Amino acid sequence: MIEYVWAEDKKRQIGVDGHLPWHLPADLKHFKEKTIDHPILMGRKTFTSLPKLLPRRKHIVLTHSEELKAKWQDNDQVEILTSIEEMNKYLADHQAETICAIGGVSIFKALLDQVDVLEKTEIDGIFRADTVMPEIDYSRFKLLHKEHHDADSKNKYPYTFLTYVRKD
């Protein structure tokens, strides 16, 4: 099963200069809860933007970088895939698992027809950004859960957690 886990602003923007355009602790906690104990699938830029390897998650990275492959070849927490075909084989071999796709845009685009669950955080704001989430046909999904939160002392912006599942 493939699950997207991401946050976006009101313009579907998801990143700036290789990182999140906002700081929202509640979303970081939500991301951790949704991805813990699941493999996380990402592209090279997303991988290199992480401050460190995330505990209790296998990092599946799609990249053509032989340097990155060599660097991580002896680390059981990281698996480097070098082609879409290799990624699709990995996904086929792990269908029983929940694989969390966390970005970037090329990963989201490549899996649009295969994604089963959407775990989206909508942030009520517009930020300076250079990366936009690909268009998703929400008519193919059913909204299962919606949870709105107002801004508070720790979270500067109102936000909503949304869970969608693909319709049969």
What is the rounded (10 degree) CA torsion for 5, 116, 135, 4?
10
CB 22 within 8 A of CB 122: no
| CA torsion angle 53 55 57 61 (round to 10) | 0
Domains identified in the chain, total number: 1
The mean per-residue pLDDT over the stretch 137-166 comes to 98
pLDDT digits (tens, 9 = 90+) for 13-50: 999 999 999 999 999 999 999 999 999 999 999 999 99
63 vs 90: CA distance, rounded Å: 14
CA distances from 41 to 47, 80, 148, 158, 168 (A): 9, 10, 27, 28, 24
Strands 117-123 and 131-132: unpaired
- pLDDT at position 158: 98
Please check whether residue 118 is in contact with residue 4, taking contact to mean a CB–CB distance below 8 angstroms: yes
Domain extent at residue 39 = 2-166
Look-up: residue for tokens 């009520």?
124
| Nearest CA-CA partner of 54 in 89, 100, 107, 92 | 100
Local confidence band at 168 (pLDDT 50, 70, 90 cut-offs): confident
Amino acid code (one letter) for 73: Q
Q: Please list the residues that pair with 13 across neighbouring strands.
A: 132
What would the DSSP string read from start to end of 4-19? EEEEE-TT-EEEBTTB
Residue range 117-130: mean pLDDT, rounded: 98
CA R_g for the chain: 16
> How many percent of the chain have pLDDT more than 70?
100
pLDDT for 80-110, tens place per residue?
A: 999 999 999 999 999 999 999 999 999 999 9
Mean pLDDT computed over every residue of the chain: 96
CATH of residue 115? 3.40.430.10
pLDDT at 48: 93
